[in-house]
Amino acid sequence: MKLFLLSTLAIVGSFSQGVAADERPNVVLIVCDDLNDYVEGFDGHPQAKTPSMKALAKSGVSFDCAYSNNPVCAPSRSSFLTGIYPHTSGNLFWGKWFENPVLKNSKTIMEHFRDNGYHVAGSGKLMHHGKPDEWSDFKYRADYGPSVFDGTQRVAHPDVPMPFRAIGPVDGSFAPLSRVPFANDGNPESGWIYGNWKKRQPFRYVSENDRDLTPDERNAKWAAEQIRDFSEPEFKAPFFLGIGLIRPHTPIHVPKKFFDLFPIEDVQLPVIRSGDAEDTYYADVYAPEQKGLRYYRTLLDSYPTREDALKAFTQAYLAGVAAVDECIGKIVDAIDSSPDPSIRNNTIIVVTSDHGWNMGEKDYLFKNSPWEESTRVPFIIRVPGLKETGVRCQKPISLIDLYPTLVDLCALDGDTRKNNQGAKLDGHSIRPLIENPKQGAWEGPDTALSMIFVGEYLKLDKLQKFDLKNQNWSIRSTDWRYIRYRNGNEELYDHNKDPYEWNNLASHKNHQPMLRSMRARLNEMVPELQINTQNSN
């Protein structure tokens, strides 16, 4: 252990003077999907079982206040994997990043590492709109399976009650794999299938110990094999390995053993206050059909009681989190057990998610909200040679800081723009906070920014939809959250006294100075908004 610390401390200490190519650290980036703070150590759900992430956090640094810049899959991923804010690029929602005028002229993190001599390998869901040629080697495209096939089409699992089941095969479905759908209908075509939308493939399930691997398990197995291959003597380059794990994204179909960890009768409900949505304004700017509002109503309509509804979904979500945690553990174990000390002792590991997920708080069940549950993400990083491990940093950061942090830690050279039509990195390296989580000073802002797209359900023309003043904005400092909606309505929460964001203080006389301060901070981060810091409109 002493030799390990000496060697890796020397590597970290050499970053500021530049790192020779053969000394550069490897990078393993693990991105989960829809993972909120239901992770041990992040104070989310008290019954969460994530031993792998808990162990990784003990050997690294956890960021308690890490946030998604756009809490929905496609724009979040295209933002942090290019290092450019959605409002900088104009890639605000579901547009393909490689068709965006700014992003297509900027290097993804994969391309920049490859240009710096790294072998760049990936698998699974990383970019929402995948482009395998960004990688030296790419294995499996995103696969949301196992999915349910009724012999004709993909559907939600028949065990899910109506009307929630009618939401469809992705967001309306959850069940253990042991509940093989349509098992006795006599149709060999029906049952579990892999979830790639372009090509249907049967998923074999006989028992818990005799079945195909789930896509996440398959990606974890491939990643572990890659790490073993990288230890071969003929492999010389440092590597950047990206693994995109789907769970706990819906449909939540995972092995029975993970559901069994959370007996339905023992599941604790999320902490939700009745009437909590009454002093919020989300429902004023979005139609009732907006997914999060509709999913919550539909879930409650599908069960005898509100408690039954929330317990059913919470059990499935906790099972999905536990399943993805096991996959993370297999990848980390492959690093820690590698026979090659340059892998075992010189690999940066990052585990995070593209955004979180509301579990019914404020009558909302989905991602893409401006509140803590959707915007906050777990963020764990292990860097070789840390002087202090197992520490939690309380300073707010966001996913936009991931790219510049890895550039800094790996001493990469060159412009991240392909030409002058691209954009510079918007974030800042959090290396000072990794090295000193409690007292480190960094160049980043003291608030983390999230933008919630104006929405596909509003009848606005294209120009209005992409007007920055027409979006909804949320910023989080260490102690406060400020939300500004497109119609000028505001929310303000004191996280020291109100961690669940139950009490909107925006209209309280005593909190007007803080309200004006948070407006000013949002103006600094997005100058195009030009918010009047004195008035609420």
Structure tokens at 499: 């961690």
Instruction: State how far the Cα of 106 lies from the Cα of 491, in Å rounded to an integer.
Output: 35
Q: Tally the C-alpha atoms within 13 A of residue 429's C-alpha that lie toward its C-beta.
A: 14
Radius of gyration for the alpha carbons in the chain, expressed in angstroms and rounded:
23
**489 occurs within a structural domain:** no
Domain that holds residue 64: 2-139+215-253+275-444
Cα 521 from Cα 390, distance rounded (Å): 31
Query: Mind listing the pLDDT tens digit for each residue in 251-308?
Result: 999 999 999 999 999 999 999 999 999 999 999 999 999 999 999 999 999 999 999 9
Q: Residue 473 is encoded by which pair of tokens?
A: 């904005």
Q: Which residue has the tokens 């585990």?
A: 351
Q: Supply φ then ψ for residue 153, to 5 degrees.
A: -150, 170
Segment holding 306, helix H or strand E: helix 306-336
Q: How far apart are CA 269 and CA 305, in angstroms?
A: 13
pLDDT at site 535? 63
* Peptide linkage before 270 cis (omega within 30 of 0): no
The rounded distance, in Å, linking the Cα atoms of 431 and 299 is: 43
532 occurs within a structural domain: no
**Secondary structure (3-state) at 473:** strand
Q: In the prediction, which pLDDT does 537 show?
A: 46
Cα angle, residue 290 at apex, residues 288 and 296 outer, rounded to 5° = 80
Yes or no: say if 351 and 39 are a contact pair by the CB < 8 Å rule: no
pLDDT tens digits, one per residue of 366-424: 999 999 999 999 999 999 999 999 999 999 999 999 999 999 999 999 999 999 999 99
| Structural contact between residues 359 and 300, judged by C-beta atoms closer than 8 angstroms | no
Confidence tier at 455 by pLDDT (50, 70, 90): confident
Q: How far apart are CA 292 and CA 368, in angstroms?
A: 8
Question: How high is the pLDDT of residue 240?
Answer: 98
Tens-digit pLDDT profile for residues 148-158: 999 999 999 99
In whole angstroms, give the CA distance from residue 228 to residue 220: 12
> What band does 159 get if pLDDT is binned at 50, 70 and 90?
very high
Q: How far apart are CA 192 and CA 348, in angstroms?
A: 36
* Single-letter code of the amino acid located at 172: G
Cα distance between residue 318 and residue 165, in whole Å: 19
The model's pLDDT over 21-79, given as tens digits with 9 standing for 90+, comes to: 568 999 999 999 999 999 999 999 999 999 999 999 999 999 999 999 999 999 999 99
Which residues partner with 398 through β-bridges? 67
Count up the domains in the chain and report the number: 1
Distance CA 251, CA 148 (A): 9
Whether 490 and 506 have beta carbons less than 8 Å apart is answered as: yes
DSSP 228-272: HHHTSTT--S-EEEEEEEEEESSSEEE-HHHHHTS-GGGPPPP--
Q: Return the structure tokens found at 267.
A: 């599941």
- Taking the C-alpha atoms of residue 91 and residue 81, their distance in angstroms, rounded to an integer, is 13
Evaluate whether residue 89 is within a structural domain.
yes
* Strand ranges (E), 428-528: 448-452, 472-476, 480-484, 490-494
* Residue 139: pLDDT over 90: yes
State mean pLDDT over 188-211.
Answer: 91
**What is the structure's pLDDT at 440?**
92
Rounded distance between C-alpha atoms, residue 295 and residue 309, angstroms: 11
The secondary structure of residue 68, as a DSSP letter, is -
Q: How confident is the model at residue 85 (pLDDT cuts 50, 70, 90)?
A: very high
The per-residue pLDDT for 269 is 97
Report if residue 484 sits inside a domain.
Answer: no
Give percent helix, percent strand, percent coil of the chain, each to the nearest 5. 35, 20, 45
399 and 79 in contact (C-beta within 8 Å)?
A: yes
Give domain status of residue 433, yes or no: yes
Assign residue 102 the CATH number of its domain: 3.40.720.10
* pLDDT tens per residue across span 328-365: 999 999 999 999 999 999 999 999 999 999 999 999 99
Q: Is residue 111 domain-resident?
A: yes
**Dist. CA 78–CA 84, nearest whole Å:** 8
Residue 464: per-residue pLDDT = 81
Beta-bridge mates of residue 359: 365
Angle between helix 291-301 and 306-336 (nearest 10): 120
Helix (H, G, I), strand (E, B) or coil at 442: coil
In whole angstroms, give the CA distance from residue 181 to residue 41: 36
Whether residue 395 is contained in a domain is answered as: yes
Dist. CA 447–CA 16, nearest whole Å:
27
10 Å CB burial of residue 465 (0-12, 13-18, 19+) is: middle
Assigned domain for 394 exists: yes
